[in-house]
A and B are shown apart, each in its own frame.
Chain A
C-alpha cells in the first residue's frame, strides 16, 4: 500500500461544476500537507498548503482530518484552466525528513 493514496481519476466535469478530491495518508507522524498542481508536461507547482483548521484560497478549499488521515481539495466554479493533475503531498520527519507525493488526480474541465 502506498503511503499517500489518491484516486487517479480522471474526473471529467463541466465548467462551473464543483469537484472534490480526497487523499489518504498512512503514516500518523505526517506533519505538513500540501496540494500541488501539475500541468501536462510541466513541473509541479504549489497550489496551497493544508492547515488543520482548513483553509480557503478563492475557489479552492483544503481540509485536513488528522483523525482519519485524509486531506481534501474542493474546487468551486470550475474553469477550463483548472484542467491539470492535482498532487497530494505529505511530509514527515521520522527516520529522516521525507516528502511523499501522491500519484495525482487528473481533472478535465469541459466547456
Chain B
C-alpha cells in the first residue's frame, strides 16, 4: 500500500563508486521529483519529470543522471560518488506539473553515506 517507495533505505559506499537509487509511486501521478536534504536539513529540488519528460533540472553535477522508464518510476544514478554527495535523497510525486497546486507525496528517503 506504500504510495511512494524508494530503495535502498540506506546506502554506504566509497568515494568513486557508482550507485543507483530507485523510486516507484503507485498513485497514478504524472510528475515525480528528486530532492536532496543535506546535513543542515535544507531540502532542495534536483530534478522533476512529467510523464517521463524532464521538466526541471536544477544546477546539479552531471554525475547525477535521472532515468524515468515509465511515469511510475524515477531512478537516480550517481557516478563517481564524492564525500559531498552524502545526504538524504527523497523521491516525491504529485498530480500536476504546473503551478504546484497539488500536494507532493514523499518517499521515506535514502540515506546515502560516502566514505
Residues of A within 8 A of B (CB): 31-32, 34, 42-46, 49, 85, 87, 91-93, 96-101, 103-104
Selected interface stretch from B13-21, B76-84, B106-114: B106-114
In the complex, what's the smallest C-beta–C-beta distance from B55 to chain A, in angstroms? 7
Tell me if B98 and A93 are in contact (CB < 8 A). Answer: yes
Q: Which residues of chain B (76-115) have a CB below 8 Å from chain A?
A: 90, 97-101, 103-104, 106-109
Chain B residue with Cβ nearest A85:
B41
- Size class of the contact patch on chain B: 20 to 34
Q: How far is the CA of A62 from the CA of B99 in the complex (A)?
A: 20
- Determine whether the beta carbon of A43 is less than 8 Å from that of B56: no
What 1/0 mask marks residues of chain B from 42 to 57 whose CB sits below 8 Å from any chain A CB? 1111001000000110
**Selected contact of B56 from candidates A45, A98, A103, A104, CB within 8 Å:** A98
List B contacts of A46 (CB < 8 A): 103-104
Does the CB pair A32–B100 fall under 8 Å? yes
For the complex of A and B, 10 pairs with smallest distance between CB atoms = A91-B100, A43-B106, A101-B43, A46-B103, A32-B100, A103-B42, A32-B101, A44-B106, A99-B100, A31-B99
Interface centre among B43, B56, B106 (most CB of A within 10 A): B43
Report Cα–Cα, A93/B98, bound state, in Å.
7
Q: How far is the CA of A99 from the CA of B93 in the complex (A)?
A: 12
A97→B108 contact, CB < 8 A: no
Pairwise interchain contact B100-A93, C-beta atoms closer than 8 A: yes
| B43 pairs with A97, CB closer than 8 A | no
> CB-nearest residue of chain B relative to A31?
B99
Beta-carbon nearest neighbor of A100 in chain B: B45
How long is the Cα–Cα vector from A108 to B40 in the complex, in angstroms?
18
A-B contact pairs, 26 of them (CB 8 A): A31-B100, A31-B101, A32-B100, A32-B101, A34-B103, A43-B90, A43-B106, A43-B108, A43-B109, A45-B106, A46-B103, A46-B104, A49-B103, A85-B41, A91-B99, A93-B98, A93-B99, A96-B55, A97-B48, A97-B55, A97-B56, A97-B98, A97-B99, A101-B42, A101-B44, A103-B41
Chain A nearest CB, measured from B51 CB (Å): 14
